Structure 1
Amino acid sequence: MHLWEKLKNKESFFVTGTDEHGLKIQAVAEKRGISPKTLVDEVSLNFKHLAEKFDIQYDRFIRTTDGDHIESVKHFWKTMNERGLIYKGTHSGWYAVSDETFYPESQIEKVTDSNGISKMISKETKNEVIFHEESNYFFRLSKFRDRLINYLKENPQLITPKNKYDSILAELEGEKLEDLSISRPSSRLLWGIEVPGDDTQRIYVWFDALINYITAAGYPKSLNAPTSPWPAVHVIGKDIARFHCIYWPIFLMAADLPLPKQIVIHSHWLCDGFKMSKSLGNVVDPLDTLDYYGQDACRFFLSEYSNIESDSNYSEREFHFTRENLIGKYANLVTRCGGPSFDIEESVAMLKEGSFDKIESFWEDCPYENPAAVKDAAGKLRACLDNLYPAMDTHLENFDHMKATQVWWEAIEAGNQLFQLGQPWIFTKEMKNENLQPEKRETSKLVQSFLVYMAAETCRIGSILMGPIMPHLSHKILDRLGVSMQKRTAQYASVGQDSTYGHGANDKGKKLPIERIKMREST
């Protein structure tokens, strides 16, 4: 979405990063015999490397160990304390170390494994919980329950998709909202931000981590400045919905700060229909996959198969099939219309001169068995291309990458269909006939150039709009077409909006911009 907004020449500020405090980090560091800071420095570099490999262009990579974030958290804590929203008490309940949170009785269940051993787990994350009691600081979460319910009813767009909104609202209305434990004893947790004025306690990791969003937006100094990117849109996984959709809005309400514009909750990726698990051997390594199939193919597949409302499914076979389609239907189309027998630059010039204005009157004069089918294909392609940007924009505004990719494919398919039905190559041979009447020669040239132009427009418009998803391949194709760097925005994503491209597009010796490879035998 970050690059899509930039394609529309809109301001966008994209934040990602790493949550680096908490008991899990402390435990792993102790096991490895290193300091927690050494561990998180290493882990954050891994995520930065992943972002770099996938060409994820963030504006800030925030770490919760950053100095400005630590100060932001302390300021937020003091504000809540001054408003009487924090108190000290004893807490007992079901605690998940993996999730770093206490769960109410309604959110846990008992399960028995194949060995007959029973344990309690979180219904949502399926991680084990243990009964624990300790003295903590608490936040008066319960005080804001009704206010949050009313806000959600008045602003149903806050949480999307709707099934996630319904679930959160039902949970709030159906259960008592307990006050939230927001600290842990230093005797148990040392790796965390110290509670202001009390070195015996460390701030609860989620109270710390959630504040990163407003830290990045300038809190506490400039959150309300005109240049601040807050309020923002959050994109989160379904396993952390409660923290972002209940705790976080209440924290912001308590601080009299604007709530997020929207919280988009995505589902998880399965592999061949099963949850990824080391024991099952179906874990997909993103870096290995990228190294083998290429960055653009990976990004495109994740877009094409990303189902926001339910779990998405990774399949090596489907991935390879997708990549083959990109070569055969998308990249190959520019190779076909960019062949040395045609002239894209000339075709673009003819469009500019108005030569194609009455193209519909020429189909019957062409050597087709079914000229009406070619005429219909031309009309369908024109409609697909002119509607492509608004259709994709609507779907992407709703974070529905799957449907956005589907309408893109429809345009690419329509471009291939017209080129195949129109057979522009038959006119090359026809025009070599010295006995061909000048009028007939002119018609043949006109129809051939129109077919080449519409194929080139399919590639040009399709590449502009696929740029945010496949930045390298799409720009290779735009380079091949000779499209100016200044004309690769949504403003030019309709038929006839660029009359300056095509120079050198039909030069000999141009290679396919993406090569075929065999499917991996195993992941």
Structure 2
Amino acid sequence: MSQRVLGFLAKSQHRFISTTANYITTPIFYVNAKPHLGHFYSMTLADVQNRWTKFNDRETFFTTGTDEHGLKVQNAAAKKNIDPKLFCDDLSDKFKDLAKLGNIEYDRFIRTTDPDHLDAVNYFWQLVWDKGYIYKGEHSGWYSISDEAFYPEVDIEEVIDAKTGEKKMVSKETGSEVNFEKEENYFFKLSAFQDQLIEFLEKNPDFIQPTQYYNAVLKELKTNPLSDLSISRPSWRLQWGITVPNDETQKIYVWFDALLNYYTSLGYPNIPPVELTPATHLIGKDIVRFHCIHWPIFLMAAGLPTPKRVVVHGHWLMAGSKMSKSKGNVADPVEIADYYGVDALRLFIMRYSVLDNDCDFSEEKLNNTRTEFIDKFCNLLTRSLSKNFSITRALQRLESNHATELLKFAKDEELAKDLNQLYQRVNSLHAEIDPYVTNLEMHKAIQIIWSVLPQINGLFDKYKPWTLKVKPEDDELQAASKLLRQDLIIFSALDSLRCILILLQSFIPDYSKLLLDRLNVLPKMRTYEHTKISSDLSYGENAVWKKGEKVPLQRLELQEK
């Protein structure tokens, strides 16, 4: 083992999280342009899952960040006549600003220009070199500047350029133009691990999700032999990158550098391999090969733990078409959140995104989603806190009697049946949505929660609690029965709403806080233990709706283009 590797091992060791913790990552985003909706999508999916894990008192660690080396960044900085590091600083800050705007609670924002990452990459290269999996040779092939990748002959095709009418060669997977190039590079022995990766995938069918991507990767591995991978570029062409250890003439290939960020964030190489926490990598469908073939093989070669799983999501389209500046159909998450509010965007994305397909963005649909939340949640809150009712009286009843006991006193079998069904439904929500949030199928979790709302609002339509007023001709028993039924309806509606809002904190933290604050629910009572009916009876004091008070959220007109 080299002196450099031994030197790293001699450093003090630090461990961030246990190996059984939930470790979730977004891709690190390439800084050749400002953030777009797809970046916000990845961040938000991971953030909701991370928040949910913390909400359930389970250990979790969440990283996001920026990928800053490579020819695309070098060229973009040169066009603006800016030093590459300053260029990266500016754009990296924009991604941090997007995360801040979006209430993204990451534990580490990693940059591939961070000093500890440079150390980790140098260490990793030397480790794999020492194991004999890197060699120097001449490379020729079809190279894409846009993808910063060489493609084998089987993965390219000839197309006609729509603008010029000329023939050009492109990558089948990404559509990026490729050119045939020949140069001296360092190579990684990818081919040596093909059988091992196939065996690993067959033993771990849940490693790549959704299943369609798992099947595609496994089919490719079984059909086409892997070529050894060029993992460096000549310094005369690529200056903005990490220098290959002991060879100033070569820079490390951007993906060999970037993928290691997931372990840099855990403290690698200054912790033992057995203490590295396997990650859930959330990625876009355009980088499946790098994460599902290259990355696990790199780790196998180094003797490091492979990820727990790779979860793939699609892209956001607009009117069924890919977003692009030239088409003028780019959805800017900053602009959208500034006008509609960040939780409107979070809710829309979580409700209408599915992992195994591309998703379609519509500003009108986003605004309708926001309006629907106002209609279903804010209006339920206001009608339940009407001065015609007394939530304080209802809660005081519950302090000394269980709801099911009070239902017996109400002597209304149909009401008792409806309320008991509602209680069972609300009490099951936490357990029912947990696997969906854990597996990043947020739309299914939202659908389940939304399905309860008609049941809650139906109480008002069916039982009309405002009609349960005590009349002069009512005897004492009749008057008590009316008030008890009214209290039970109002309590059931508001307590169901309270439980749902607590569950929604991971999805829409601002909206949930706004309405829970209006209900005067104490912050310490907003935990998963309080997502059952009657689990908190301390809220509601002075919560009656005041004359002239506005609904917590106001409707908005569609933003002018």
Fold similarity call, TM over 0.5: yes
Q: Aligned with 2:206: secondary structure?
A: helix
Q: 2:508 aligns with which of 470, 481, 496?
A: 470
CA distance in 1, matches of 2:418, 2:324: 47
Q: CA deviation at 1:379?
A: 4.1
Q: Deviations over 1:147-186 (max 9, x none)?
A: 0110111011111111111111111111110111000000
Q: CA deviation at 1:137?
A: 0.2
Which residue type is aligned with residue 72 of structure 1?
A: A
Which residue type is aligned with residue 47 of structure 1?
A: F
- Cα distance, 1:19–1:441 mapped onto 2, change above 3 Å: same
Q: CA deviation at 1:507?
A: 5.1
1:449 and 2:449 aligned:
no
Which residue in 1 is equivalent to 2:199? 150
Q: Aligned with 1:3: secondary structure?
A: helix
Q: Do the aligned partners of 1:380 and 1:414 also contact (CA within 8 Å) in 2?
A: no
Which residue in 2 is equivalent to 1:200? 249
Which residue in 2 is equivalent to 1:306? 353
1:434 and 2:472 aligned:
yes
CA distance in 1, matches of 2:274, 2:538: 41
1:107 and 2:155 aligned:
yes
Q: 1:422 aligns with which of 448, 458, 463?
A: 463
Q: CA deviation at 1:110?
A: 1.6
Deviates more, 1:375-384 or 1:254-263: 375-384
- How many aligned positions are there? 511
Q: 2:546 aligns with which of 500, 503, 508?
A: 508
Q: Deviations over 1:4-42 (max 9, x none)?
A: 111111121110000000000000111111111010001
Q: CA deviation at 1:250?
A: 0.6
1:66 and 2:114 aligned:
yes
Taking every aligned residue pair, what percent have the same amino acid on both sides? 45
CA distance in 2, matches of 1:108, 1:273: 25
Deviates more, 1:52-61 or 1:115-124: 115-124
Deviates more, 1:36-45 or 1:410-419: 410-419
Q: Deviations over 1:269-321 (max 9, x none)?
A: 01121111222211111111111100111110010011111001111221111
Which residue type is aligned with residue 447 of structure 1?
A: R
Which residue in 2 is equivalent to 1:187? 236
> Residues 216-231 of structure 1 correspond to what in structure 2 (within 5 A)?
216-222=265-271, 224=273, 230-231=277-278
Q: CA deviation at 1:120?
A: 1.4
Which residue type is aligned with residue 417 of structure 1?
A: G
Q: Do the aligned partners of 1:23 and 1:100 also contact (CA within 8 Å) in 2?
A: yes
Deviates more, 1:155-164 or 1:114-123: 114-123
Q: Aligned with 1:336: secondary structure?
A: helix
Q: Aligned with 1:513: secondary structure?
A: coil
Q: Do the aligned partners of 1:384 and 1:410 also contact (CA within 8 Å) in 2?
A: no
CA distance in 2, matches of 1:38, 1:213: 24
Q: CA deviation at 1:323?
A: 0.8
Which residue in 2 is equivalent to 1:460? 498
Q: CA deviation at 1:435?
A: 2.4
Q: Deviations over 1:491-518 (max 9, x none)?
A: 2112122122221222525532211111
> Residues 52-451 of structure 1 correspond to what in structure 2 (within 5 A)?
52-114=100-162, 115-222=164-271, 224=273, 230-354=277-401, 356-358=403-405, 372=414, 377-427=418-468, 430-431=469-470, 433-451=471-489
Deviates more, 1:507-516 or 1:194-203: 507-516
Q: CA deviation at 1:54?
A: 0.7
Structure 2 unmatched ranges of 5 or more: 1-48
Q: Do the aligned partners of 2:382 and 2:545 also contact (CA within 8 Å) in 1?
A: no
Q: Deviations over 1:316-361 (max 9, x none)?
A: 2211111110000112111111222222233223223225324555
Q: Do the aligned partners of 1:304 and 1:406 also contact (CA within 8 Å) in 2?
A: yes
Q: 1:27 aligns with which of 67, 75, 85?
A: 75
CA distance in 1, matches of 2:531, 2:153: 54
Which residue type is aligned with residue 239 of structure 1?
A: D
* Structure 2 length-normalised TM: 0.88
1:496 and 2:534 aligned:
yes
Which residue type is aligned with residue 551 of structure 2?
A: L
Which residue type is aligned with residue 535 of structure 2?
A: Q
Q: Deviations over 1:400-447 (max 9, x none)?
A: 1111110111122221122322211111xx21x222111111111111
CA distance in 1, matches of 2:319, 2:446: 21
Q: Aligned with 2:159: secondary structure?
A: strand
Instruction: Note the aligned Cα RMSD (angstroms).
Output: 1.7
Deviates more, 1:445-454 or 1:340-349: 340-349
Q: CA deviation at 1:223?
A: 5.1
Q: CA deviation at 1:376?
A: 5.5
Q: Do the aligned partners of 1:331 and 1:513 also contact (CA within 8 Å) in 2?
A: yes
* Structure 1 length-normalised TM: 0.94
CA distance in 2, matches of 1:243, 1:76: 17
1:517 and 2:539 aligned:
no
CA distance in 2, matches of 1:181, 1:346: 73
Q: Deviations over 1:160-219 (max 9, x none)?
A: 111111111111111110111000000000000000000000000000000000000110
CA distance in 2, matches of 1:398, 1:278: 33
Q: CA deviation at 1:224?
A: 4.4
Q: Do the aligned partners of 1:217 and 1:223 also contact (CA within 8 Å) in 2?
A: no
CA distance in 2, matches of 1:158, 1:516: 43
Deviates more, 1:317-326 or 1:108-117: 108-117
Which residue in 2 is equivalent to 1:8? 56
Q: Aligned with 1:357: secondary structure?
A: helix
Q: Aligned with 1:156: secondary structure?
A: coil
Structure 1 unmatched ranges of 5 or more: 366-370
Q: Do the aligned partners of 1:320 and 1:519 also contact (CA within 8 Å) in 2?
A: yes
CA distance in 1, matches of 2:518, 2:99: 27
Q: CA deviation at 1:116?
A: 2.7
Q: Do the aligned partners of 2:404 and 2:420 also contact (CA within 8 Å) in 1?
A: no
CA distance in 1, matches of 2:216, 2:303: 26
Q: Aligned with 1:483: secondary structure?
A: coil
Q: Do the aligned partners of 2:410 and 2:484 also contact (CA within 8 Å) in 1?
A: no
- Cα distance, 1:43–1:481 mapped onto 2, change above 3 Å: same
CA distance in 2, matches of 1:94, 1:30: 24
